Amino acid sequence: FEALHHALQAAFGWATVHTYDFTVKDPNFRPPADMMEAMQQMIHSHGDEPLLGVSRLEYLLRLRDPHSQNSIDSMHECKRRHPNTVEKNVNKPKLWQVLDDPAYEVTPGKGLEYTYDFGDNWVHDITIEGRADANELIEVLRGEGHPIAEDVGGWKGWNELKEAYNSTRPNREQRDKMRWFERKSANADLQGLRGDRSTNGIWRRFNNT
């Protein structure tokens, strides 16, 4: 799983500056009905026993990063825990051991989740399409889009950054956002997102090599 993490970091253009985990979702999970229930669930996630009717089991299995990257990720860690969720370090089980475990029912059409940066909360769905003979190579077949900026502030922040580049007359705040992305972001891009780079940026490089 640790090798898969590094492959996903390269494929999506992340900079490996945040904590991550892999999870198998409970198919019976339903999200909290309101803000109060969500807060109760987050508070109780530190406890030893689930609070029936409040603390809902979201993940059957969670493979956690043994090397927490920063305090922001640690602050959001509690939202990903549950007393009944099996937790292991990501470098312990092999990928096939999880895929072959009937307790998790990871089959073609069903898969895993890879979450990177618990603050911005970037969730990557991993669907099992089939199997092939094992080898040491990981191949990118196709894709589209530009790597999302590290620490941009989730989907809202990313959309605001794209709006700044699409603006014909960006205001001061938008200019600051563009300057930050081109010079200071952990995965900064000096060329920014001008033109169609927000949809085609990195994949031109992958597809031409």
Residue 156, H or E segment = helix 154-166
- Residue 118 corresponds to which amino acid? F
pLDDT, position 196 = 64
pLDDT score recorded for residue 111: 77
In terms of Cβ atoms closer than 10 Å to its own Cβ (0-12, 13-18, 19+), residue 177 is: buried
Give the pairing type, strands 86-89 and 59-64.
parallel
Exposed/middle/buried for residue 110 (C-beta within 10 Å: 0-12, 13-18, 19+): middle
Per-residue pLDDT, 2: 93
Cα separation, 153 vs 124, whole angstroms: 17
Each residue's pLDDT, cut to its tens digit, for the chain (209 residues) gives 999 999 999 999 999 999 999 999 887 777 666 677 666 665 555 554 444 444 567 889 999 998 876 677 888 887 788 888 899 999 989 998 998 898 887 776 667 999 999 999 999 999 888 888 888 888 888 888 889 999 999 999 999 999 999 999 999 999 999 999 999 999 999 999 986 665 555 544 444 44
- Judge whether 28 and 59 are in contact, CB under 8 Å: no
- Per-residue pLDDT at 69: 62
Residue 125 sits at φ, ψ, to 5 deg, of -80, 130
pTM of the model: 0.82
Q: Tokens representing 142?
A: 């196709």
Apex 106 CA angle, 61 and 94, nearest 5: 65
Sign of the dihedral defined by the CA atoms of residues 81, 84, 88, 94, in that order: negative
- Structure tokens belonging to residue 137: 């190579």
127 beta partners: 111
